[in-house]
Amino acid sequence: MTPEVEAAVTTPIVAAAAVIALLLLFISSGATRAFGTIAHESGHMAVGIFTGHTIKYFEVKIGGEGTTYYAGWRWGPGRILTAAAGYVTPPLLGLGGAALFDAGHIPLLLWTAVVLLVLTLFHAEREWTTFLVLLLVAATGYVALYGTPVLKTGFAAGLVWLLLFDGLYSAAVAGKQQGTDPDRLFRDTLIPRTLWKLGFIVVAVVCLWKGARLMVP
C-alpha cells in the first residue's frame, strides 16, 4: 500500500461510499442495479462457458433486469451450476474486491473491474446493454488513470459496496415467477424455490459481513 493510498483509506471515506451506494440502490435502483445485473449475468456466462454451454448473448433491460441467452441449453449438472451462479456472483466479486481493497491494491481493483467489464462486451446485446457497459468502463478507467487517491479510494469502495449490497438485495427480492433462476433450479432439481432463495441470501449475507470487516479501516 502506497503512502498516498494509505492516507486516503479512512473510515469517513469508506463509510460515505457505503451510504452513497445504499442511497443509489434504493433511490435509483433501476440504473444502479445495472452494475450488479452485469455481474449477475457474467456469472451465468462464465460458468456456462466453463461447463461447455454456448452463450449467445446477454442483455440488461431499462429497469435493471437482465437475461442471458444460451444455445443448446441441455439439462445436467452444468446447467444447474450455471443457473445457480447468477445470484452468488455479485457478492463473491464484492468479497474479492474487499480483499483487494483491504490489501491496498486500489488500482488493481479498478483495472480488474475494467477488464471484466470489457470481457462482457463480447456477449453484450442491444444498444442499451452496450452503452451501460461502455459507460462503466469509461468511468472506472478514467478514475483509475486520472483520479486522485481519495477519488480512487472512494470510487473503488463504492463499487465494492454496490456489489455487496446489490447481492443481498437481489437475493432478497428474487421472485418465483416462471423463468427466474429459482424457478429454473426448482424445475431442474425439484429443490423448492424458497430453499434456493435462502441459499442465495446466506451467501450474500456472509459475503457482506466478511466484506464489511475487510473494508472498514
CA atoms 121, 85, 201, 58: torsion sign: positive
Residue-averaged pLDDT of the chain: 87
Residues 161-185 have a mean pLDDT of 85
What band does 11 get if pLDDT is binned at 50, 70 and 90?
confident
Q: Where are the beta strands (DSSP E) in the chain?
A: 54-60, 66-71
- The predicted pLDDT at position 121 comes to 83
| Cα 152 to Cα 33, 50, 105, 206, 211, distances in angstroms | 21, 33, 11, 26, 18
Q: Would you say 121 and 135 are in contact if contact means Cβ atoms under 8 Å apart? A: no
Q: What are phi and psi of 46, to 5 degrees?
A: -65, -50
In 3D, which of 107, 203, 121, 202 has the Cα closest to residue 156? 107
- The answer, yes or no, to whether residue 216 has pLDDT greater than 60, is yes
- The answer, yes or no, to whether residue 1 has pLDDT greater than 70, is no
- Over residues 144-163, the pLDDT tens digits come to 999 988 999 999 999 999 99
Report how far residue 33's alpha carbon sits from residue 166's, in angstroms, rounded to the nearest whole number. 7
Higher pLDDT, 129 or 88: 88
- The answer, yes or no, to whether residue 4 has pLDDT greater than 70, is no
- The predicted pLDDT at position 63 comes to 64
Report how far residue 101's alpha carbon sits from residue 85's, in angstroms, rounded to the nearest whole number. 24
Residues 129-150 have a mean pLDDT of 90
Name the helix (H) or strand (E) containing 212. helix 193-215
In 3D, which of 3, 32, 4, 2 has the Cα closest to residue 148? 4
The per-residue DSSP string of 152-185 comes to: HHHHHHHHHHHHHHHHHHHHHT---STTSHHHHH
pTM of the model: 0.90
- Over residues 108-128, the pLDDT tens digits come to 999 999 999 998 888 877 777
What's the grid cell of residue 30?
433501476
What's the grid cell of residue 77?
449438472
- The answer, yes or no, to whether residue 29 has pLDDT greater than 70, is no
Report how far residue 171's alpha carbon sits from residue 199's, in angstroms, rounded to the nearest whole number. 9
- Over residues 61-84, the pLDDT tens digits come to 766 678 888 877 777 888 899 999
Higher pLDDT, 26 or 88: 88
